[in-house]
Amino acid sequence: MGLNLEYIHVSKFYQGVPVLRDCSFTFPLGSSYAVMGPNGSGKSTLFRIGALLEEPDRGEVRFSVGGQLLPQDLHLRRRVTMVFPRVGLFNRSVYQNVAYGLEIRGVGGREQAAQVERVLELVGLAAKKQQHALTLSSGEAMRLGLARALVIEPEVLFLDEPTTSLDPANAGIIEDCLLRLRRERQMTLLLVTHDPAQAWRLGDALLRMENGRLVAADLILPQECLT
């Protein structure tokens, strides 16, 4: 049963200034969406609202499973996660950053270690397990941010500009990782990017934002592939 995300007439204002204007869209489980648009067009805000980190001023965001509306509690928030452009790593080791999501869910010991290992392998940081997170390069930091998010096996993943400031090598690692995930798991992926080629590589559909509005939604792949 898939977790569906719906934006219904969502508007958001920051100190009177509209940041999101009447956005509506449905994201059924399992698809990947690339979101493009100029800086300041509201993409990050859209994501934060979808990730249940902020509340819309008008309209609402709905999560449902098989037609049944889900309450927006901690339980739901734990099925959805986001990686920020500046990542926001914790002042601890690489291992501890990834383990965080498991720690707070009460997963410890060997189970925790195994899952952390697996995910670190995925992003190519297994060797740096004990290194302090804040000593990583920006590429490694983003990969760690991704690992941190993936270890909790989210059903909806928001990635806000994951590769914008990364070199091709690091960007490549992240893209490979995401492609693998798409094959292995049912996960809705929303991704902010400025690279149309990346959008094509990673996304099923493309959304454009301008001035707080969703102005276009192109299908990059044929419609039948969308569930």
Q: Does 51 bind another protein (CB under 8 A)?
A: yes
Structure tokens at 139: 């590429």
Task: Quote the least distance from Cβ 103 to another protein, whole Å.
Answer: 9
Task: Quote the least distance from Cβ 53 to another protein, whole Å.
Answer: 6
Q: Does 135 bind another protein (CB under 8 A)?
A: yes
With contact defined as beta carbons under 8 Å apart, do 125 and 147 qualify?
yes
Q: Does 14 bind another protein (CB under 8 A)?
A: no
Task: Quote the least distance from Cβ 62 to another protein, whole Å.
Answer: 19
Task: Quote the least distance from Cβ 67 to another protein, whole Å.
Answer: 25
Percent helix / strand / coil, the chain, rounded to 5: 35, 30, 35
Q: For residues 119 and 190, what is the distance between their CA atoms, to the nearest angstrom? A: 20
Residue 160 Cα distances to 128, 195, 204, angstroms: 24, 13, 17
With contact defined as beta carbons under 8 Å apart, do 36 and 220 qualify?
no
Task: Quote the least distance from Cβ 164 to another protein, whole Å.
Answer: 15
Q: Does 84 bind another protein (CB under 8 A)?
A: yes
Q: Does 149 bind another protein (CB under 8 A)?
A: yes
| Sheet containing strand 205-210, strands side by side | 80-83, 156-160, 188-192, 32-36, 205-210, 213-219
Among 152, 166, 177, 199, binds another protein (CB under 8 A): 152
Of residues 90 through 129, those in contact with another protein by CB under 8 A are: 90-92, 100-101, 104-105
| Phi–psi pair at 187, nearest 5 degrees | -145, 135
Q: For residues 139 and 159, what is the distance between their CA atoms, to the nearest angstrom? A: 14
Query: Is residue 164 classed as helix, strand or coil in its secondary structure?
Result: coil
Task: Quote the least distance from Cβ 135 to another protein, whole Å.
Answer: 4
Of 121, 131, 140, 127, the C-alpha closest to 93 is 131
Task: Quote the least distance from Cβ 167 to another protein, whole Å.
Answer: 20
Q: Does 74 bind another protein (CB under 8 A)?
A: yes
Among 62, 118, 129, 132, binds another protein (CB under 8 A): 132
Of residues 161 through 190, those in contact with another protein by CB under 8 A are: none
Nearer CB in complex with another protein: 135/165: 135
The residues binding another protein (CB under 8 A) are: 48, 51, 53, 74, 77-78, 80-82, 84, 86-92, 100-101, 104-105, 132, 134-135, 145, 148-149, 152
